[in-house]
Copies of this chain bind each other. A is one copy, B any other.
């Protein structure tokens, strides 16, 4: 941590900074320049120390953190790529994993049709929402426990593991009885009680990036899961909120190499929520694979025109099958399979 003192700060103020640092067991190195005093604080844990503790001291002009504020999710903490094994399926390995299915589980017929279609096209995991976060209280909120049971029926029939969102601490136990992967949605990325409780289940989890979360905050949120000794954590980029409105969100394609450089966790990309419109999904999915994503999560609905939520961003089974075919040579060009 680097502390810049005001040009007119006093020696006593510099001493106070030093004193505070030593009380936190940090090493202190002074740089007394001609016009400025710079204090460097060194130690193993400076990433976890709040910069405000120093910024609030009189005479301090700025405080800059050099170490990252996340730890367990970082490549510095763990160099090798994390892989997650689910009944023989491996996330984070050479094979790009495709998760697909409807936004919401609506009924048995819809889910089964979707499950069969995505299995046929080569997807590895079935997605489907049982508890839905909806912007308006007047919208369809999901089937709840009935939806979870339909998901398990679909899993049994097509033989694919299932991923579904857990919205609330009170549902963690329930959802973890059914789901192979617990999804934490973008709106809950900083719901720290939920993260902790999901972490404690020791079940595979997928942490979506908050729609205004920086990459750094996202990694720090992953630390909440990892701090419970749950190592089966994947990340999911799903677009950030910007001024642009021609797509629903702006997929942060740059975050893909940034995350792969700075974290050992597998990275899945959700082109459907970023796009908000089916006609954009294929291009974004291809881009994500080309940029180095370890997987995709894509909305597929047997009949988007009749979908109860987010039909506009769902692919039809035939569009999804074509996309899967188009992704193969791109994966191959990177030395990967799909």
* A interface residues with partner B (beta carbon < 8 Å): 2, 4, 7, 27, 29, 31, 33-36, 38, 40, 42-44, 48, 50, 52-53, 55-57, 62, 64, 66-67, 69-71, 76, 133-139, 141, 167-170, 187-188, 190-194, 196, 210-212, 214-217, 220-221, 223-224, 227, 239-247, 250-258, 261, 274-275, 277-280, 282-284, 286-292, 304-305, 307, 309-313, 326, 329-330, 332-333
Q: Is the interface of A mostly helix, strand, loop or mixed?
A: mixed
Given A279-B257, A333-B326, are A191 and B191 neighbors across the interface (CB < 8 Å)?
Answer: yes
Q: What are the nearest 3 A-B pairs in CB distance?
A: A212-B212, A329-B333, A247-B254
Contact B241 A212 (CB under 8 A): yes
Contact B212 A243 (CB under 8 A): yes
Contact A76 B312 (CB under 8 A): no
Q: Report B-chain residues with C-beta under 8 Å of the C-beta of A333.
A: 326, 329-330, 332-333
17 CB-based A-B contacts, threshold 8 Å: A27-B34, A31-B42, A34-B44, A50-B309, A56-B278, A133-B190, A137-B227, A167-B192, A170-B193, A210-B212, A214-B244, A215-B244, A239-B254, A242-B252, A250-B254, A286-B290, A329-B333
Contact A254 B241 (CB under 8 A): no
Contact A27 B38 (CB under 8 A): no
Instruction: Tell me the minimal C-beta distance from A139 to chain B in angstroms.
Output: 7
Q: Report B-chain residues with C-beta under 8 Å of the C-beta of A242.
A: 240, 242-243, 250, 252
Contact A42 B52 (CB under 8 A): no
Q: Report B-chain residues with C-beta under 8 Å of the C-beta of A194.
A: 168
Contact B257 A274 (CB under 8 A): no
A287 CA to B288 CA, complexed, in Å: 6
Using CB atoms, name the residue of chain B closest to A54. B312
A40 CA to B31 CA, complexed, in Å: 8
A42 CA to B286 CA, complexed, in Å: 39
A305 CA to B20 CA, complexed, in Å: 10
A256 CA to B291 CA, complexed, in Å: 15
A258 CA to B280 CA, complexed, in Å: 7
Given A42-B36, A287-B290, A329-B333, are A4 and B66 neighbors across the interface (CB < 8 Å)?
Answer: yes
A325 CA to B292 CA, complexed, in Å: 16
A133 CA to B192 CA, complexed, in Å: 7
A34 CA to B224 CA, complexed, in Å: 27
Q: Report B-chain residues with C-beta under 8 Å of the C-beta of A221.
A: 135
Quick one: which of B48, B53, B240, B307 contacts A244, CB cutoff 8 A?
A: B240
Q: A187-B191, A245-B245 are in contact. List 7 more A-B contacts (CB 8 A).
A: A33-B42, A56-B305, A62-B66, A69-B136, A135-B220, A214-B244, A257-B283
A4 CA to B250 CA, complexed, in Å: 24
A168 CA to B168 CA, complexed, in Å: 8
